[in-house]
Structure 1
Amino acid sequence: MIQTFLNITLSALGTTLSMPGYLYGGFVFIALIPLFFALEKKRPFTSAIITFVYFFLFSFINFHYLINTLTTGLPELFGRFGASTGFAVYLLFCVLEALPFLLFGFLYGLWLEKTRLRLFEPLFVGSIYVISDYLRGIGDLGFTGGRLSDALYNFKGLIQILPYTGTLGLVFIIVIVNYESYKLLKKNKQNIVLVLSIVALIFLLNGAIESFLPKSVGDKPVVLAQTNMPQKIKYSYEASEIVKYLQDNFSESHNYLTIFPEGVFPGTDIRNSEIEKSLLDTFKNRTFIIGFPTLETKDAYNSAIIYSKATFLNKYDKVQLFPFVETLPYKTIFDRLEFLKGMYYFSSGELKTFDIPGYGKVGIQICFESFFPYISRKLSEKSEFLVVVTNDGWYNSKIPLIQHFAQAIFRAVETRRNVIQVSNTGISGIVDEYGNYTILPDGTAWRTLYVKSNTQNTFYTKYGDYIVIACLLFIILTGITAKKKSSLFD
């Protein structure tokens, strides 16, 4: 039992250390090996508990930065709950993240040793992991942060598979490499040299592909306006003080398309007000995008508003709302968590692109929407490049900022679209279609960078997560052809 728990913990730590912002992404190719040793000769229900505990521990360690947000940040700003309640919510988050991996462990213990062909084993293990990870990302509680593929955001050669498979295809490959490495070590511990050689070859392949990638050069100038305003200050400022801050810091920037972050005016709909008039007077000669909530007759929206030449052009209303803070999911189950609400409970908007003068069609996403590939896919069908506006001022750690920006890299390569991300106190920059990126140095208020348009759609853009269907069919095939029934318990 102790050895099993040690193996689970080693895998959780190894996976965490491979994530963006931690130690080294290459660890992901060996991180699951201890988990597979923990699963040896375990029956379905025991295996399910093991994989649940693994992903719970991984989530708890990897997303540790949320603890400060839930125990300090949100309570200080909104004062509806205390630190102990915030920590309990964090534990609930980790449980919800780990629940789909009950399925992974259950199916692993049920059918793996009963597969007909040795070739089926790694394919089966990769398939059940992909399905479990996919389930974690759907629905009103869906979240895709912490995918194994996240570890490879800086491996520009390997991620060139994304236009064909998406990140789940990369997850599938990572799991297979881990499983086959486990099988080699199970056969003979001295095979560690062979395992490390396989991983080294993967790194060499990454470097070889990277050396052939073309250099992408943008031709349309865009001003990235990073407001650098801490949460406590932003939420304590009056709207008039914020507009004065924008005038002081950004009025001298170039008259190109200017992109401000999400929620620049965090609690105020400034439309048809003196604040809006003052803002438009300052930036009257340009087109700009800026975030603030918009309040309609019955609904509130987290919006990115587009102005052009001192005139309201259009707005995008966030579609994928952050559970509990921006919307209350599954009210009959979680109605008692309403105290987590931020400024408003928002209504969901609809996906659409915008024709911006001089720049063509543009798709806009807000905050953690960049974690959801389906949004970028749908937007890229009709847009020439993508924009992510966000407010990452909730965190006192660089790790979540890097993990968030990594998503812009994946979305850019998947869709072969340039992605511009503009954050408040996070990372702002431009990613090209091959995953190369340029970011603003810390503390920079604004900088002009260049974006490139593209209208061709990738295979993944057209067909999405087809790999999920393929994995599901393979799991069914494995179950049908299993040698005999398994006992569900040890």
Structure 2
Amino acid sequence: MGEILNILIASLLTTLSMPGYLYGGLVFFALIPLFFSLERKGPILTALSSFLYFFIFSFVNFHYLINTLTTGLPELFGRFGPTAGFFVYLLFCVLEALPFLLFGFLYGLWAERIKYRFLQPLFVASAYTLSEYLRGIGDLGFTGGRLSDALYNFTGILQLLSITGTLGLVFVIVVINYESYRLLKKSKANLLVMLSIFVIIISGDGIIERFIPKIIGDKPVVLAQTNVPQKVKYSYSSSEIVDYIEKQFSDTPEYMTIFPEAVFPGTDIRNSDVEKELLEIFSKRIIVVGFPTLDEDKAFNSAVIYSNGSFLDKYDKVKLFPFVEMLPYGSIFGSLSFLKGMYYFSPGTLKDIDIPGYGKIGFEICFESFFPNLSRKLARDVGAIVVITNDGWYNSRIPLQQHFVQSIFRAIETRRYVIQVSNTGISGVVDIFGNYTQLPYGTISRTMYISINTQETFYIKFGEYIVLVSLFIIILSGLTLKKKNTIFD
């Protein structure tokens, strides 16, 4: 019973450290109860314990998806009911937790048999980091809820991201947790030592933050947050949406104006009277507008760019949201096709778009900002990144904050300005050091400034090398295990 309680405490502490909850610094202690729960267990039990830890964490941290799946999507599309929606949520939590079977298995197999003391925390951190990496790959991959998310406001520490990426920060966090666990295991009197380490970390972050420059960009952009509730948006005709846009945004400054994803949620307005009217309103500026585009027999979730009344280019979303925008592994999950949104989209191609007056800009749509590798690939060729999203699915501010902080991480990793424009979520600009300015609550538009940077960071050049480092450490640890005692010893 004590082991289950420790797992529950670890899951809740991790949740409370996440953006939108209590305090990010809790992440430096969150895994300690988990390590106590894994003591003196075989690899099967430690695997199941680790799975349970991440399942509970996912269930609590992403609880806002329950309302979306049991109320929002069923009411909007009418293809399934609350029970089916809740089942899908449980399946999501299971899929999120599955990679941590590997962490627990490796921990139970080798953690207490590693010969060299210095390798022990490195091995544990490597096993966790590898599991976290696996969680983010494939058609079902997702990176929300990484331990690194907790530190979005620790701007000093976050400067590591330009070298290590978020997985490197996860590695460091696990090392600190494991060493704190070892201290407490040795003696409860070491609690003071552990707290001293925490104070040093927080103080170091503050000192570094003082030396981070506050920069002001030189290129103006208008963030146009439409603030149309999901139910209302899907009930408007395209003509009504254009009328709303004209009323709210036609008097904004004539700089590049960025609208969110799915402004026209179900209609390809190209070559229509609606497009003509939109371009007449914004005939003297560049605008970015999200809507689905239909080419032959394919549909794309697109960011369409117009320049001075003419079509310039479009970016088609590459990383599609599983089940809603595409059906992953149809032979396995074909029965979940009822989750389909307006369309099943085809994936586009990652590309840069040359914007007059701004140079090459990269675009991402919705949850693509959760995937560091996309931004990394974009940053090789662009000087800034624009994220357009529709976060109108939620009745909680927690997911809005958890989404926006991804732009902070992507900005520091790549040293590129990142502009996020949302429908009813959080819009803002993040500079190359992670300093951010958000659109004040209730404000629908504001002019903000960005700069273009084309220098490559260590992370842009070498990507998730921390995964290879972790694999090397795991193999090295396996080669230096203490021999098991036999009946002859």
TM-score bucket of the superposed structures, by smaller chain:
over 0.9
Query: What is the deviation of 1:478?
Result: 1.1
Indicate the residue corresponding to 1:3 in structure 2.
Answer: 2
Indicate the residue corresponding to 1:97 in structure 2.
Answer: 96
Query: What is the deviation of 1:485?
Result: 5.8
C-alpha separation in 1, matches of 2:111 and 2:394:
41
C-alpha separation in 1, matches of 2:373 and 2:118:
31
Deviations 1:328-375 (A, max 9, x none): 000110000000000000000010001000011100000000000001
Indicate the residue corresponding to 1:119 in structure 2.
Answer: 118
Indicate the residue corresponding to 1:306 in structure 2.
Answer: 305
| 1:264-275 pair list within 5 angstroms | 264-275=263-274
Which residue identity is paired with 2:263?
Answer: V
Indicate the residue corresponding to 1:217 in structure 2.
Answer: 216
Indicate the residue corresponding to 1:156 in structure 2.
Answer: 155
Structure 2: gaps (5+ residues): none
The answer (yes or no) to whether the contact 1:104–1:128 under 8 Å persists in 2 is yes
| 1:432-447 pair list within 5 angstroms | 432-447=431-446
Query: What is the deviation of 1:481?
Result: 2.1
2:348 matches 1:349: yes
C-alpha separation in 2, matches of 1:39 and 1:292:
49
Deviations 1:429-466 (A, max 9, x none): 00001110001111111100000110101000011000
C-alpha separation in 2, matches of 1:92 and 1:317:
28
The answer (yes or no) to whether the contact 1:431–1:437 under 8 Å persists in 2 is yes
C-alpha separation in 2, matches of 1:245 and 1:381:
37
For 1:70, what is the secondary structure of its paired residue? helix
| 1:292-441 pair list within 5 angstroms | 292-441=291-440
C-alpha separation in 2, matches of 1:63 and 1:196:
29
C-alpha separation in 1, matches of 2:363 and 2:455:
18
Which residue identity is paired with 1:55?
Answer: F
2:44 matches 1:45: yes
C-alpha separation in 2, matches of 1:145 and 1:202:
24
Indicate the residue corresponding to 1:457 in structure 2.
Answer: 456
Query: What is the deviation of 1:480?
Result: 2.1
Which residue identity is paired with 1:356?
Answer: I
Which residue identity is paired with 1:94?
Answer: C
Deviations 1:284-309 (A, max 9, x none): 01001000000111100000000001
The answer (yes or no) to whether the contact 1:354–1:361 under 8 Å persists in 2 is yes
The answer (yes or no) to whether the contact 2:238–2:264 under 8 Å persists in 1 is yes
Distance 1:22 1:486, change over 3 A: farther
C-alpha separation in 2, matches of 1:138 and 1:471:
16
Indicate the residue corresponding to 2:55 in structure 1.
Answer: 56
Query: What is the deviation of 1:486?
Result: 9.9
C-alpha separation in 2, matches of 1:66 and 1:470:
34
Deviations 1:239-268 (A, max 9, x none): 110010000000000100000000000000
C-alpha separation in 2, matches of 1:200 and 1:41:
31
Indicate the residue corresponding to 2:193 in structure 1.
Answer: 194
C-alpha separation in 2, matches of 1:78 and 1:456:
45
C-alpha separation in 1, matches of 2:200 and 2:370:
30
2:75 matches 1:76: yes
C-alpha separation in 1, matches of 2:442 and 2:123:
48
Which residue identity is paired with 1:405?
Answer: F
Which residue identity is paired with 1:217?
Answer: I
Indicate the residue corresponding to 2:166 in structure 1.
Answer: 167
Deviations 1:195-252 (A, max 9, x none): 1110111000100100111121100000000000000000000011001000000000
The answer (yes or no) to whether the contact 1:366–1:388 under 8 Å persists in 2 is yes
C-alpha separation in 2, matches of 1:480 and 1:185:
28
Which residue identity is paired with 2:84?
Answer: T
| 1:118-157 pair list within 5 angstroms | 118-157=117-156
Indicate the residue corresponding to 2:227 in structure 1.
Answer: 228
C-alpha separation in 2, matches of 1:385 and 1:94:
34
For 2:305, what is the secondary structure of its paired residue? strand
C-alpha separation in 1, matches of 2:234 and 2:434:
34
The answer (yes or no) to whether the contact 2:6–2:34 under 8 Å persists in 1 is yes
For 1:269, what is the secondary structure of its paired residue? coil
C-alpha separation in 1, matches of 2:483 and 2:89:
41
The answer (yes or no) to whether the contact 2:36–2:181 under 8 Å persists in 1 is yes
Which residue identity is paired with 2:442?
Answer: G
C-alpha separation in 1, matches of 2:148 and 2:136:
14
C-alpha separation in 2, matches of 1:145 and 1:486:
42
C-alpha separation in 1, matches of 2:286 and 2:389:
19
For 1:118, what is the secondary structure of its paired residue? coil
Deviations 1:388-407 (A, max 9, x none): 00000000000000000000
C-alpha separation in 2, matches of 1:209 and 1:471:
27
Which residue identity is paired with 1:284?
Answer: S
For 1:389, what is the secondary structure of its paired residue? strand
Indicate the residue corresponding to 1:483 in structure 2.
Answer: 482
C-alpha separation in 2, matches of 1:322 and 1:53:
25
C-alpha separation in 1, matches of 2:101 and 2:180:
23
| 1:215-294 pair list within 5 angstroms | 215-294=214-293
**Normalising to structure 1: TM-score of the pair?**
0.98
Indicate the residue corresponding to 1:205 in structure 2.
Answer: 204
Instruction: Give aligned pairs, total.
Output: 486
Query: What is the deviation of 1:116?
Result: 1.3
C-alpha separation in 2, matches of 1:409 and 1:433:
9
2:437 matches 1:448: no
C-alpha separation in 1, matches of 2:375 and 2:75:
34
For 2:432, what is the secondary structure of its paired residue? coil
The answer (yes or no) to whether the contact 1:153–1:406 under 8 Å persists in 2 is yes
The answer (yes or no) to whether the contact 2:116–2:480 under 8 Å persists in 1 is no
C-alpha separation in 2, matches of 1:123 and 1:202:
19
C-alpha separation in 1, matches of 2:444 and 2:156:
32
C-alpha separation in 1, matches of 2:159 and 2:483:
40
For 1:157, what is the secondary structure of its paired residue? helix
For 1:267, what is the secondary structure of its paired residue? coil
C-alpha separation in 2, matches of 1:141 and 1:473:
26
Distance 1:256 1:180, change over 3 A: same
The answer (yes or no) to whether the contact 1:111–1:486 under 8 Å persists in 2 is no
